[in-house]
């Protein structure tokens, strides 16, 4: 580590030594006293200066906070705890997570996009189309099963979205920008319908578990979420599609110790047992780089 003396630190920061001593006395600058002399670690001085940097709109911080934003997922939350990564979660939906990633407010975003083209890898297509994300890394987390959540016994005999439309069953929906909302939009379009044609529960449910609660308490008849959400809530599940569930981050963030701890845990198979317990997951892609720019 490179340490500077008082005079060197003053020159480095372009401050007078008197001002530097005032900062030391106020405990306002990183330093250490060794055998009666003040020493200043150069890299900590750099961080100290950057911490007060005024950033124009659109400029992202060098190191985002250790948070995974984006989509909620039971398996992901378990992995964040078990991997020892120190990463927290902020589940607001795919597009909200990507927005925070762009602004430097999260280290990674959990995403599951859906597109019109059958067989299209929607996550990769979406990342390719992000002009401001020129240094993206897409790390596989799992393939995940999405479907209709219904009450035990499926009392309204809902098997398809066409059944939901014709029966006028009350459907809990996610907020626009959530991956499950995108999936609903795509599947409805294939039937010639839109979200406006549904008998929707308002307001939208912000996570899959919230949607499951709405069905479990009888406020809604059905909704789209992951199989694991149905299992956790004791609901019946009607499968619709398998999707890619990935972690999106910037290249410089990929090498942060917290992200490396998470990715190592995934790559070494730490997720497999729990994925089987939760059901509805294929952990084959876990920890693999699926795309980078």
| pLDDT value at residue 120 | 64
Residue 120 lies in a domain: yes
Rounded CA separation 199/6 (Å): 70
Same domain, 257 and 117: yes
Same domain, 21 and 92: no
* Residue 178: CATH number of its domain: 3.40.190.290
223 close to 158: Cβ distance less than 8 angstroms: no
Number of structural domains the chain divides into: 2
Same domain, 70 and 37: no
Residue 188 lies in a domain: yes
Q: Which residues are CB-neighbours of 182 under 8 A, at least 6 positions away?
A: 94, 113, 114
Would strands 108-111 and 67-70 be described as parallel, antiparallel, or unpaired? parallel
Same domain, 11 and 134: no
Per-residue buried b or exposed e for 255-283, using 16+ beta carbons within 10 Å of the residue's own CB:
ebebbeebbebbeeebbeeebeebebbeb
* Residue 7: CATH number of its domain: 3.90.105
Residue 144 lies in a domain: yes
Residue 292 lies in a domain: yes
| pLDDT value at residue 1 | 56
Residue 23 lies in a domain: yes
Under DSSP, is residue 238 helix (H, G, I), strand (E, B) or coil? strand
* C-alpha pair distances (Å), 134 with each of 60, 192, 279: 13, 36, 35
Burial of 6 (0-12, 13-18, 19+ CB in 10 A): middle
Under DSSP, is residue 256 helix (H, G, I), strand (E, B) or coil? coil
Same domain, 45 and 114: no
| pLDDT value at residue 2 | 81
Q: Which residues are CB-neighbours of 113 under 8 A, at least 6 positions away?
A: 94, 122, 123, 125, 126, 179, 182
Same domain, 29 and 73: no
Domain containing residue 42: 3-51
Same domain, 38 and 183: no
- pTM to 2 decimal places: 0.79
| pLDDT value at residue 132 | 80
Structure tokens at 290: 């699926």
Structure tokens at 85: 């990564």
- DSSP codes joined into one string, 166-178: HHT-EEEEEPTTS
Rounded CA separation 211/203 (Å): 11
Residue 59 lies in a domain: no
Rounded CA separation 16/127 (Å): 48
Tens-digit pLDDT profile for the chain (293 aa)?
588 999 999 999 999 999 999 999 988 899 999 888 999 988 888 878 866 656 565 555 568 999 999 999 999 999 999 999 999 999 999 999 999 999 999 999 999 999 876 556 999 999 999 988 888 999 999 999 999 999 999 999 999 999 999 999 999 999 999 999 999 999 999 999 999 999 999 999 999 999 999 999 999 999 999 999 999 999 999 999 999 999 999 988 999 999 999 999 999 988 999 999 999 999 999 999 999 88
Rounded CA separation 184/230 (Å): 17
Residue 58 lies in a domain: no
């Amino acid at each position: 580590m490179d340490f500077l003396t008082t005079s060197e630190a003053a020159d480095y920061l372009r401050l007078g030594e008197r001002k530097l001593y005032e900062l030391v006395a106020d405990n306002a600058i990183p330093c250490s006293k060794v055998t009666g002399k003040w020493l200043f670690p150069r890299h900590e001085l750099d961080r100290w200066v950057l911490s007060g940097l005024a950033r124009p709109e659109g400029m992202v911080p060098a190191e985002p906070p250790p948070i995974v934003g984006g989509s909620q997922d039971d398996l992901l939350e378990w992995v964040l705890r078990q991997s020892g990564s120190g990463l927290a979660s902020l589940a607001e939906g795919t597009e909200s997570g990507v927005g925070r990633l762009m602004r430097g407010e999260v280290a990674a975003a959990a995403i599951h996009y859906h597109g019109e083209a059958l067989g299209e890898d929607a996550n990769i297509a979406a990342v390719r189309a992000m002009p401001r994300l020129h240094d993206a890394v897409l790390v596989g987390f799992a393939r995940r099963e999405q479907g209709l959540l219904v009450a035990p016994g499926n009392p309204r005999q809902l098997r398809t979205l066409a059944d939901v439309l014709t029966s006028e069953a009350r459907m809990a929906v996610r907020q626009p920008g959530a991956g499950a909302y995108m999936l609903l939009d795509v599947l409805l379009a294939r039937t010639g319908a839109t979200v406006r044609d549904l008998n929707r529960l308002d307001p939208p449910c912000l996570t899959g578990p919230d949607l499951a609660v709405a069905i479990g308490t009888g406020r809604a008849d059905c909704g789209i979420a992951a199989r694991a959400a149905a299992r956790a809530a004791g609901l019946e599940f009607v499968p619709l599609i398998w999707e890619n569930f990935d972690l999106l981050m910037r290249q410089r963030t990929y090498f942060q110790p917290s992200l490396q701890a998470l990715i190592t845990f995934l790559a070494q198979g730490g997720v497999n047992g729990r994925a089987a317990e939760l059901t509805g997951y294929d952990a084959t892609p876990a920890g693999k780089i699926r795309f980078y720019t």
